[in-house]
Structure 1
Amino acid sequence: MNRYLKLFHMEVHRFRWMLAILMGITAACQISALIWTLTKELYRRREPVPQDIGNTFQVSAPEQLTFEWAMANNQLLFILPILICISVLALYIFFIWYRDWIGRHTFIYRLLVLPTARRNLYLAKISAFLLFVFGFVSFQLVLMPILNVIFKLIVPADQRADSHIVDAISRNLALVELIPRQFEQFLYYYGMGTIAVLAIFTAILLERSYRRLGILYGVLYLSGCVLAVMSPSLLFDSRHPYLYPNELYAAELIMFVFVLCISVWLGIRLLAKKITV
Structure 2
Amino acid sequence: MNRYLKLVHMEIHRFRWILIAMMGITAIFQFSGLIWTLKKAMAQFEEQKIQGSDTRKYFDSVPDTLTFEWAMSNTQMWFILPVLLCIAVLSLYVFFIWYRDWMGRHTFIYRLLMLPTARHNLFLAKITALLLFVLSIVAFQLVMLPVQELVLKLVVPAELRSESHIVDVININQALVELIPRQFEQFFYIYGLGTIAVLMLFTAILLERSYQRMGILYGILYLAGCVLVVAAPFLYFGLDSSIIPLYPMEIYVLVLLLFFVVAGVSVWLGSRLLAKKITV
Partner of 2:91: 90
Match of 1:21 in 2: 21
Larger radius of gyration: 2
Q: Distance in 2 between matches of 1:238 and 1:37?
A: 51
The match for 1:56 is none
Residue 244 (str. 1) matches residue 247 (str. 2): yes
Deviation track 1:141-186 (CA, whole Å, cap 9, x = no partner) reads: 1111111111111111001110012210100011101111011011
Distance, in Å, in 1 between the alignment partners of 2:67 and 2:237 is 46
Could you report, residue by residue, the CA deviation over 1:77-134 in whole angstroms, capped at 9, with x for unpaired residues?
A: 1100000000000000000000000001101111111111111111111111110011
Q: Which residue of 2 aligns with 1:72?
A: 73
Aligned residues between the structures: 271
CA deviation map 1:230-267 (0-9, x unaligned)? 11111122874732111111111111111111101101
Letter matched to residue 171 of structure 1:
I
Work out whether residues 205 and 271 of structure 1, in 8 Å CA contact, stay in contact via their aligned partners in 2: yes
More helix by share: 2
Distance 2:84 2:182 in 1: 20
The CA distance in 1 between the partners of 2:232 and 2:239, in whole Å, is: 13
Within a 5 Å distance, the mapping from 1:189-268 to structure 2 comes to 189-237=190-238, 240=241, 242-268=245-271
Query: Sequence identity, in percent?
Result: 65
Q: Give the Cα separation in 2 of the matches to 1:195 and 1:157.
A: 47
* Paired residue type of 1:221: Y
Secondary structure of the residue aligned to 1:47 is helix
Q: Structure 1 unaligned runs (5+)? A: 54-58
Q: What letter is aligned with 1:256?
A: F
Gaps of 5+ in 2: none
8 Å contact kept, 1:145–1:165: no
Q: d(CA) in 2 for partners of 1:45 and 1:194?
A: 47
Give the structure 1 partner of residue 164 of structure 2.
Answer: 163
| 1:31 maps onto 2:31 in alignment | yes
Question: Could you report, residue by residue, the CA deviation over 1:37-81 in whole angstroms, capped at 9, with x for unpaired residues?
Answer: 000011011114999x9xxxxx93321111001000011111000
Aligned twin of 1:274 = 277
Q: 1:189 Cα deviation (Å)?
A: 0.4
Q: Which moved more, 1:234-243 or 1:132-141?
A: 234-243
For residues 102 and 239 of structure 2, what CA distance do their matches in structure 1 show? 47
Runs of 4+ in 1 over 6 A off after TM superposition: none
Please list, as runs of the form range in 1=range in 2, the aligned pairs for 1:142-153 lying within 5 A after superposition. Answer: 142-153=143-154
TM-score (norm 2): 0.93
The normalised TM-score by structure 1 is 0.94
Aligned to 1:114, the other structure's residue is in SS state: coil
Amino acid in structure 2 at the alignment position of 1:159: L
The aligned counterpart of 1:182 is 183
- CA RMSD, aligned part only? 1.8
